[in-house]
Amino acid sequence: MPPVRPYQGMEPGAPVLTILNPPDRCHQTMHVLLIEDDEILGDGLKAGIEQTGWVVDWVRDGDAAQRAFEREGFDLAVLDLGLPKRPGIDVLRWLRRCGNQVPVLILTATDGVGDRVTALDAGADDYVVKPFDLDEVCARLRALHRRRVGVSSAVMRYQNIEIDTSTRSVTVDECLVPVSPKELAILQALLESAGKPVPRHRLMSSICGWDDEIGSNVLEVHIHHLRRKIPSLTLKTVRGVGYRLD
């Protein structure tokens, strides 16, 4: 275990930032859309995935899934094939027809070999068979996300900063830096696009679900904390756009 970097409190004279309506569950890394009509299964999946530190928005039928994708960008999707209103396979085909390349993990029944083949051919990235192990679902989602951002290892590095996405830890010069899940989510999004501006809405989407009440400057608060905890962070504000890691 690397040594813990001493963390200084807010220095005198530092800008005072306030959070309006502080969110209480806006504290995750990736934004996942869960599409599952079974209440018990969906409940377990949502809670389990959230425990790994990601935002989960849950819809229960195919039409709602399409509306969700039209409304918002997601990092990952977990899609049950047997859905009311519109079958999962139709949702998947529609997604790919629209050019949406979000990684999709399919949930299928044990006897659904044909369904799995059809779904993979239609653009699904992976599948798990019910009943499944939640740890396996989360590991597969992490692997899909790494594949999407072109990182084959669970560790992301940028200059002297390292994020281990499996242990959700951040080290700077090999010293552990304590960060909150939201700070980790923001830092990860910035590292994934290092050198390019990351729009403000993209960073907000990585930390917040729809049902969060968000203060107008919540992102700035987290950025402020990150800059304070990681003084070597070469983070530039791109006026009117967002932030860029140089």
Site string for Ca ion, 19-48 (x = CB under 5 A): ------------------x-----------
Position of minimal CB gap to Ca ion: 82
Closer to Ca ion at the Cβ: 80 or 115? Answer: 80
Distances (CA, A) of 240 to 95, 150, 198, 212, 237: 30, 28, 11, 24, 9
Q: Which is nearer to Ca ion, 80 or 162 (CB)?
A: 80
CB 226 within 8 A of CB 183: yes
CB of 84 to Ca ion, least distance (A): 8
Residue with tokens 């409940």: 43
Distance CA 85, CA 218 (A): 37
Q: How far apart are CA 223 and CA 231, in angstroms?
A: 12
Q: How far is the CB of 65 from Ca ion (least distance, A)?
A: 12
- Give the largest Cα separation in the chain, rounded: 64
CA 82 to chain centre: 25
CB of 36 to Ca ion, least distance (A): 6
CB of residue 142 to Ca ion, shortest distance in Å: 24
Radius of gyration of the chain (CA): 19
The residues in 70-89 that bind Ca ion, with binding defined as CB under 5 A, are 80, 82
Cβ proximity to Ca ion, 91 vs 198, nearer residue: 91
Q: Considering only residues 112-171, where is the footprint of Ca ion by CB under 5 A?
A: none
* Least distance to Ca ion, CB of residue 158, Å: 41
Nearest CA-CA partner of 26 in 164, 185, 145, 135: 185
Residues 198 to 237 in contact with Ca ion, rule: CB under 5 A: none
CB nearer Ca ion, residue 105 or residue 161: 105
Residues that bind Ca ion (CB under 5 A): 37, 80, 82
